[in-house]
Amino acid sequence: MEPPALDLALDAPALTAQLVDIPSVSGTEGPLADAVESALRALPHLRVDRYGNNVVARTETGRAERVLLAGHIDTVPIAGNVPSRLDEDGLLWGCGTTDMKAGVAVQLRIAATVPEPNRDLTFVFYDNEEVESERNGLRHLAAVHPDWLAADFAVLLEPSTGEVEGGCQGTLRVRLRLPGVRAHSARSWMGANAIHAAAPVLARLAAYEPRRPVIDGLEYHEGLNAVGIEGGVAGNVIPDACVVTVNYRYAPDRGEEQAIAHVREVFADCGPLEIEVTDHAPGALPGLSHPAARAFMAAVGGQARPKFGWTDVSRFSALGIPAVNYGPGEASLAHRRDERVETALITRCEERLRAWLGAA
């Protein structure tokens, strides 16, 4: 079978549809990475490198400043929403439309149509953003090929509805394990039901009031949620274990230790349970006062907003590269069965970036 191919001569909305129609759920990005690499290698003004399913392309024109445009190519699991569908209102529907193949399409269009940029450009396409931080492709690039990521300023094309979003919230994932004692369910009083023991944990989560702190003038919005629960041995057995996986999204005025301490405190009086941290990625402060961020803001216009979701701006932050989120998707539509993107926003985002980077 012919490997799927991308046509960079298409406009960005049509290219987004092509990208959506090559499924790339985290861990299965190979075919899409191949297509991206192959399309970029056809452009003579770019140097292209690949590591795993991560593809990096660069202009090397000797400009004084280098800007990096980054996007992840993976998606959450498909929920009956591939292939993509364009409706009569100009909405493109499908898994990954908003998060973030629309942004990837804009990256590819800039790569193809701005051969002589006013700043040197680096395009980063990476895998496994939607899963545990340990698998994140940008993390691996930062560890193995940090030179590929060198830049003065980074724009991450994560969905931000075409507005600039500063900073991002951190994310902490923990497993809460409730204990129990097995018994036959006909004599339940001989055992201790671990699923019932999760009742106060779920009650605490359901009643939780998240913080909404204001940082650098931006109001963040935290969240503490069960994202998984599992318990049960057999239909006639009182279960001796129940595990609740909890995701804490926290504002960037907190660090990892404070986040863990907060979670422990929330569940402190929910009975005996074990807490295990399984995944963590720190937030990033807005950093909008940085000169490069100011210049970018002036060029694309609009008012900066806070970023609720964790994004890899945090990783650029840690590398010392000021970074913002600026992408055509709408973050609140991400990870939904009815995920979609306004094609007009894709076009606008592409035009503004081209105007900024292509201006003489």
27 is an interface residue for a copy of itself by CB under 8 A: no
Q: Should residue 73 be labelled a site residue for a copy of itself when binding is judged by CB under 8 A?
A: no
Among 64, 88, 89, 187, binds a copy of itself (CB under 8 A): 187
The type of residue at 16 is: T
Q: Has 129 been annotated as catalytic?
A: yes
**Are the C-beta atoms of residues 276 and 178 closer than 8 Å to each other?**
no
Residue from 44, 235, 272, 301 in contact with a copy of itself (CB under 8 A): 235
Determine if 192 is a binding residue for a copy of itself (CB under 8 A).
Answer: no
Which of 30, 77, 146, 255 lies at the binding interface for a copy of itself (CB under 8 A)?
Answer: 77
Nearer to a copy of itself (CB atom), residue 99 or residue 127: 99
CB of 48 to a copy of itself, least distance (A): 30
* Angstrom distance (rounded) from CA 349 to CA 355: 10
CB nearer a copy of itself, residue 133 or residue 343: 133
Q: Contact between 1 and a copy of itself (CB under 8 A)? A: no
Q: Compute the distance between CA of residue 134 and CA of residue 278 in angstroms, rounded to an integer.
A: 10
Pairing of strands 66-72, 120-126: parallel
- Which residue among the candidates 74, 165, 222, 330 is catalytic per the annotation? 74
Least distance from C-beta 268 to a copy of itself, angstroms? 18
Of residues 289-318, those binding a copy of itself (CB under 8 A):
308-310
132 is catalytic: no
CB 37 within 8 A of CB 4: no
Q: What does the alpha-carbon distance between residue 348 and residue 164 come to, in Å, rounded to a whole number?
A: 13
Residue 95 CB, nearest approach to a copy of itself (Å):
12
182 touching a copy of itself, by CB under 8 A? yes
Q: What is the length of the chain?
A: 360
Instruction: State the number of binding residues for a copy of itself (CB under 8 A).
Output: 63
The yes or no reply on residue 172 touching a copy of itself (CB under 8 A) is no
Task: Give the three-state DSSP class for 208.
Answer: coil
**215: Cβ contacts below 8 Å, ≥ 6 apart:** 167, 251, 252, 253, 285, 286, 306
The structure tokens listed for 85 are: 């569908």
The dihedral over CA atoms of 244, 249, 255, 260, expressed in degrees to the nearest 10, equals -20
Q: How many CA atoms lie within 13 A of 299 on its CB side?
A: 18
Give the amino acid at 53: N
* Binding residues for a copy of itself (CB under 8 A): 76-77, 79, 99, 130-132, 169, 171, 173, 182-190, 193, 195-200, 202-203, 205-206, 210, 221, 223, 225-239, 242, 244-245, 247, 249, 279, 308-310, 331-332, 334-337
Residues designated as active site: 74, 129
